[in-house]
Structure 1
Amino acid sequence: MLYPVIMAGGNGSRLWPLSRQLNPKQFLPLADNHRSMLQATIQRLEGLNTALLLLICNEEHRFIAAEQLRQLGMEEANILLEPVGRNTAPAIALASLRAVDTSTQDEDPVLLVLAADHLIQNVEAFHASIATALPLAQQGKLVTFGIVPTHAETGYGYIEQGTALDTGGYIVSRFVEKPDQVTAEKYLSSGQYLWNSGMFMFRAGRYLEELERYRPDILAACRSALSNANQDMHFTRVDAEAFAVCPDDSIDYAVMEKTDSAVVVPLDAGWSDIGAWSALWDVSDKDVNGNVCKGDVLAHDSRNTYLHAESRLVATVGVEDLVVVETKDAVLVAHRDRVQDVKKVVESIKKDGRHEHMNHREVYRPWGVYDSIDSGERYQVKRITVKPGAKLSVQMHHHRAEHWIVVSGTAKVTNGDKTYLVTENQSTYIPVGQVHALENPGVIPLELIEVQSGAYLGEDDIVRFEDRYGRVE
């Protein structure tokens, strides 16, 4: 049985403005109109003999991750929260320690370590490579999956294949860094090199043995962080102070490049890491002019262009080789050959003290979602949707009053020492400093308009007294 471990860290800044720090690409339906990349990764495991998966994600992504698992009927899955990012070697160490501790069998569990933001189009070929890797991992090898290259790519690291193994796969001769164009072309023509995918399979105990051998400092920090972990609903929160001192290192540098047990299994399954808008254009269906059109788009005399409209009509005339992405609060226009520089736009947004890199206008919460419709000096207007049975925290604000108008559904409102129902076309007022709460007692979503007014309207002006989602400090 395989123990799937899915790493869902990272913020995908090259896919801005769709990918944001608080809603990054792994949680978005980029290559699929119906499933996020995380959900597609999970469903790709169907047909394999697997245990309950372990998802590793950042603390600030916990609720969106839990909601996407819930949509797949996987509420019981384990979610391990990293208070800070420390790269793949510590993340996989936490997963290995957790797998060993929770294994119900007297054996060293075999982990299948996957990234949440990869596209794999040929699931059958993916499963075949896993079948090849399994006996190698059971024998104590540390298996990595190498992507059969389709072109001379300079954006990936490479793995040189060594001696072929009788049971499939190859001994790893060496790992090499991202090459220049000439070197990449040599690698491709030799037929001996594979792209480094960042996917692995090995016994948890074997990985811990090698980590102990080469980076005992990382293992010690992870053991300390996990030994003092707290369980919060479906979340496992590792000790923040212990994990913060853990060295930042990748599994490649920490273990795979040093161990003598590394083997590689080729994977030829239509793989892409969707690392930039050009990669998404490559793997998407195109019209007769080579355009990829998402949303309300009109492309006149336009060719080989990626067009994405989220909230309004986007029209192009006489353009070629562009990426145009529209969201409710930002528009990106870039040449397809320059999309790697989108991250520089994100860096400028951060430097200027703006907020468009953090989140979309729509912000997801464990109870539902809110959309910031309008704002100005001393006021802000939001459309709030509360899921059936959900409740916002019992809270108060020092600097703002709120006026709620119910559009559909029924709201159960706590306003000071009073609790009452507010239905469609009715409203209620929450004064500054009043302790209050909002709940949806019904079976349909509750939608309301919230008008905030006051001297300060920041999201940090919330004092929580009670919260069913564990957000009370």
Structure 2
Amino acid sequence: MEFGEECQHVAVDGERLTAIELRTSISACIIPVVLSGGGGSRLWPVSTNEKPKQFLPLNGSHTLFRGTVERVSDRSRFAAPIIVGSALHEELLERDLAGIEAQLIFEPCAKNTAAAIAMAALMAREGHGEDALLLVMPSDHVIDDSKAFCDAVVKGEAAARAGRLVAFGVRPTAPETGYGYIRLGREIPGIQGVMDVANFVEKPSLEVAKAIVGDGEHLWNAGIFLFRVGTVLEELREFAPEIARAAEGAIASGARKGDHFWPDSAAMAGCPDKSFDYAVMEHSRRVAVVPMSPGWSDLGSWDSIADMADGQMDADFVTTVDCDDCYVRTDGLRISALGVRDLIIVASGQRLLIVPRGRSQEVKRLLSAMGAPAT
């Protein structure tokens, strides 16, 4: 059976299907879940709580959010997505979804990715059943090669249908300290290209990162997952029961208007704030990983954006003389630099950031010093 065959059948076949046949066909689809609740504070001052990085065109004419949604827009492969985002960004989400069918869940408060995935899984179960697959993706990543990404999803599908929590790992090209890592185990018998996970390594020091990149046994953890609805709900109940209960209460008592859903704020108020990696993936015995190389970046710092760019930006407003290895970006403030090396200089409105290259992961320290929220 080809990837997404049942979805395509439902979309183009004019015959009437019985309720059971329709449910079975829909359940075989892969439902994208796009997580859009992050604040992108490491890309301050361009990214702010009011307009975080997923709603900015940082690598082209489209926003990162729009690019993520369009990556899974082929309805012969994917069902309409479920979007989990902040209630503060309702207008931005609707703007970027123009012309795209989607179900939106507006979080009343930010409780990290475990709660967001739990709510999306509960909503997907209502319409698609427990056998549907969820493809969970952050909304603010770049993937240059969509075909390579979809090929990786195909590899992971059999493992996900067999009850595995499938992560996607990227072959590292540098000893990044801002990424988590996955250590590869053995290939799963009978499922080519899908590996067991030996263990997870949280964001390491530079020396540790150099060692694990050099051993060839580790991948960057891309934060992208594929699993059955029923499987992820079981694992959430086992390893993160407080989060599971809060999500169930928030969905049961929430408010719906068309494709928009607002979870109950009181039920979510006491929900633990944990990432899905910490809450579930690092504890589950069902984890697997698919290695991939689709030209991925999480654009998680100005260093990563500078590495993708070609020299300075906004030449009409930037003058540099005798500067080397600097990245300069501005939305209007005139910037002039002389004789400096290895700097990142970013201006947005009345805000100016100056940081050495290699230290932009530390921008949250600046926000803390300024008394600004860092998300």
Deviation at 1:124, TM superposition (A): 1.9
Determine the C-alpha separation between the residues in 2 that align with 1:178 and 1:271: 18
Determine the C-alpha separation between the residues in 2 that align with 1:182 and 1:319: 27
Determine the C-alpha separation between the residues in 2 that align with 1:140 and 1:153: 31
The 3-state SS of whatever aligns with 1:152 is coil
Aligned to 1:271: 296
Q: In structure 1, which of residues 117, 134, 153 is the aligned counterpart of residue 140 of structure 2?
A: 117
Spell out, residue by residue over 1:125-162, the C-alpha distance to the aligned partner (whole angstroms, 9 max, x if none).
11111111111111111100111111222222211111
Deviation at 1:186, TM superposition (A): 2.2
Q: In structure 2, which of residues 52, 68, 71 is the aligned counterpart of residue 24 of structure 1?
A: 52
Aligned to 1:399: none
Aligned to 1:131: 154
Q: In structure 2, which of residues 274, 286, 290 is the aligned counterpart of residue 249 of structure 1?
A: 274
Aligned to 2:25: none
Letter in 2 for 1:293: M
Spell out, residue by residue over 1:77-125, the C-alpha distance to the aligned partner (whole angstroms, 9 max, x if none).
111011111111111010000001012xx66110000001111122221
Determine the C-alpha separation between the residues in 2 that align with 1:345 and 1:189: 32
Aligned to 1:225: 250
The 3-state SS of whatever aligns with 2:163 is coil
* Distance change in 2, residues 1:295/1:349 (3 Å): farther
Q: In structure 1, which of residues 169, 173, 179 is the aligned counterpart of residue 198 of structure 2?
A: 173
Determine the C-alpha separation between the residues in 1 that align with 2:363 and 2:203: 20
Q: Which structure 2 segments of 5+ residues have no match?
A: 1-28
Identity across the alignment (%): 37
My pick for the range that moved more, 184-193 or 341-350, is 341-350
The 3-state SS of whatever aligns with 1:302 is coil
Aligned to 2:307: 282
Q: Give every structure 1 segment of 4 or more consecutive aligned residues whose post-TM-superposition deviation is greater than 6 Å.
A: none
Aligned residues: 342
Aligned to 1:44: 71
Aligned to 1:90: 115
Determine the C-alpha separation between the residues in 2 that align with 1:195 and 1:55: 24
Deviation at 1:275, TM superposition (A): 1.3
- 1:141 matched to 2:164? The reply is yes
Matches within 5 A, 1:180-329: 180-232=205-257, 234-284=259-309, 286=310, 291-294=311-314, 296=316, 297-329=318-350
Spell out, residue by residue over 1:187-244, the C-alpha distance to the aligned partner (whole angstroms, 9 max, x if none).
1222111111111000111100111222222211111100111124642100000011
Determine the C-alpha separation between the residues in 1 that align with 2:361 and 2:175: 17
Determine the C-alpha separation between the residues in 2 that align with 1:131 and 1:299: 47
Relative to its length, the structure with more helix (as a share) is 2
Relative to its length, the structure with more strand (as a share) is 1
Structure 1 contact 8–26 (Cα < 8 Å) conserved: yes
Q: Which structure 1 segments of 5+ residues have no match?
A: 352-356, 359-473
Aligned to 2:185: 162
Spell out, residue by residue over 1:301-330, the C-alpha distance to the aligned partner (whole angstroms, 9 max, x if none).
333221212124433333322212222222
Letter in 2 for 1:36: T
Determine the C-alpha separation between the residues in 2 that align with 1:197 and 1:95: 19
Determine the C-alpha separation between the residues in 2 that align with 1:328 and 1:89: 34
Letter in 2 for 1:22: E
Determine the C-alpha separation between the residues in 2 that align with 1:136 and 1:292: 44
Which structure has the bigger radius of gyration? 1
Structure 2 contact 344–354 (Cα < 8 Å) conserved: yes
Aligned to 1:338: 359
Cα-Cα RMSD: 1.9
Determine the C-alpha separation between the residues in 1 that align with 2:257 and 2:371: 32
The 3-state SS of whatever aligns with 1:280 is helix
Letter in 1 for 2:173: T
Could you say which structure has the greater relative contact order, defined with CA pairs below 8 angstroms and 6 or more residues apart?
2
My pick for the range that moved more, 22-31 or 327-336, is 327-336
What is the TM-score with the length of structure 2 in the denominator? 0.86
Determine the C-alpha separation between the residues in 1 that align with 2:122 and 2:276: 15
The 3-state SS of whatever aligns with 1:293 is coil
Structure 2 contact 251–263 (Cα < 8 Å) conserved: yes
Determine the C-alpha separation between the residues in 2 that align with 1:233 and 1:345: 41
Spell out, residue by residue over 1:314-365, the C-alpha distance to the aligned partner (whole angstroms, 9 max, x if none).
33333322212222222222222332332222223336xxxxx79xxxxxxx
Determine the C-alpha separation between the residues in 2 that align with 1:49 and 1:250: 28
The 3-state SS of whatever aligns with 1:292 is coil
Determine the C-alpha separation between the residues in 2 that align with 1:92 and 1:153: 26
Determine the C-alpha separation between the residues in 2 that align with 1:187 and 1:339: 22
Determine the C-alpha separation between the residues in 1 that align with 2:214 and 2:330: 40
Structure 2 contact 130–229 (Cα < 8 Å) conserved: no
What is the TM-score with the length of structure 1 in the denominator? 0.69
Structure 2 contact 130–230 (Cα < 8 Å) conserved: no
Structure 1 contact 292–304 (Cα < 8 Å) conserved: no
- 1:100 matched to 2:128? The reply is no
- 1:151 matched to 2:178? The reply is no
Letter in 2 for 1:206: T
Structure 1 contact 295–310 (Cα < 8 Å) conserved: no
